[in-house]
């Protein structure tokens, strides 16, 4: 693909092996990438004639074409969950309920925690993986970083350090870029970053039923994308009801 994968753009090969470096992805590019992923996975879960659980969402499996549109790839371990004509048109199977396919699959750092306890694969597992990607896009920290050993996770680190202050967890290159903007644009960026952080936290909640659907996430990100690009009809209020009290309680 023309612009490689999201992983290669977040972590350029030119950076040092210590992980220090920066990404040239702007905030709006990161929001658009997250929005593209959400729309693609929402289609797989809820709108495709054959419903699909991807099972291995991660930055290296998201490719970027020549105009930086994100495309979800690598369906090698995906699972079909509904065939044409099954169920009603707007439904989606939340749980596979098929023990023959319920081996632990996915990539370390992105696998939903319930899979480790033998739960069936579900669309909520993909939501968790998507949430990890969102948090990674904002923080530029891999969920497999050594700092997340011993039961610690990117989700827990962000929750413990965020406290409504984006500068505590955000990729420094985004902070640096915001300093070059007007106060109005800087404020919009702060709102956008906060929305991404809170969406990522919500999608990676430990209890699957408390996570939003990918349709919800796609709607929220579309609204945020329009807000950041100056659409006066778009508000930054989350369609998911995200608030500091919601985040703190989960």
Q: What is the pLDDT of residue 18?
A: 45
Q: Which two tokens stand for residue 248?
A: 């703190």
Cβ-contact 130, 38 below 8 angstroms? yes
| 56 noted as active-site residue | yes
Give the right CATH number for 6-84+102-248 from 3.30.110.60, 1.10.510.10, 1.10.287.110, 3.30.450.40. 1.10.510.10
Please tell me which residue in 56, 126, 171, 219 is annotated as part of the active site: 56
Percent of the chain with pLDDT over 90: 54
Given the structure tokens 């969406």, which residue do they identify? 199
Q: Which of 64-73, 131-140, 148-157 has the lowest mean pLDDT?
A: 148-157
> 82 - beta bridge partners?
51
Residue 199, burial from CB neighbour count under 10 angstroms (0-12, 13-18, 19+): buried
CA distance 51 to 9: 30
Task: Please give the model's pTM, rounded to 2 decimal places.
Answer: 0.85
CA distance 126 to 146: 24
Helix (H) or strand (E) holding 82: strand 79-82
**Phi/psi at 150 (nearest 5 deg)?**
65, 40
CA distance 179 to 198: 22
Comparison of pLDDT for 100 and 186, the residue scoring more: 186
pLDDT tens, residue by residue, 17-71: 444 566 789 999 999 999 999 999 999 999 999 899 999 999 999 999 999 999 9
Domain boundaries, the chain: 6-84+102-248
Average pLDDT over residues 173-194: 89
């Amino acid at each position: 693909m023309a612009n490689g994968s999201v992983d290669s753009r977040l972590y350029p090969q030119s950076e040092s092996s210590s992980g220090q470096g920066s990404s040239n992805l702007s905030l709006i590019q990161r929001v658009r990438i997250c929005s593209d992923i959400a729309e693609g996975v929402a289609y797989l879960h809820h709108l495709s004639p054959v419903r699909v659980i991807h099972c291995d969402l991660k930055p290296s499996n998201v490719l970027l074409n020549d105009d930086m549109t994100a495309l979800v790839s690598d369906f090698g371990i995906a699972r079909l969950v509904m065939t044409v004509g099954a169920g009603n048109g707007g439904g989606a199977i939340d749980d596979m309920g098929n023990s023959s396919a319920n081996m632990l699959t996915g990539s370390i750092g992105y696998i939903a925690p319930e899979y480790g306890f033998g739960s069936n694969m579900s669309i909520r597992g993909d939501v968790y993986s998507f949430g990890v990607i969102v948090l990674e896009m904002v923080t530029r920290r891999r969920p497999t970083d050594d700092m997340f050993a011993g039961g610690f996770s990117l989700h827990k680190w962000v929750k413990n350090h965020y406290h409504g202050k984006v500068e505590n967890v955000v990729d420094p290159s985004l902070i640096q870029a915001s300093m070059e903007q007007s106060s109005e644009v800087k404020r919009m960026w702060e709102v956008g970053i906060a929305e991404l952080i809170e969406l990522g936290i919500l999608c990676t909640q430990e209890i699957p039923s408390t996570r939003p659907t990918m349709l919800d996430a796609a709607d929220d990100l579309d609204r945020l994308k329009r807000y950041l690009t100056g659409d006066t009809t778009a508000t930054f209020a989350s369609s998911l009801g995200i608030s500091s009290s919601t985040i703190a309680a989960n």
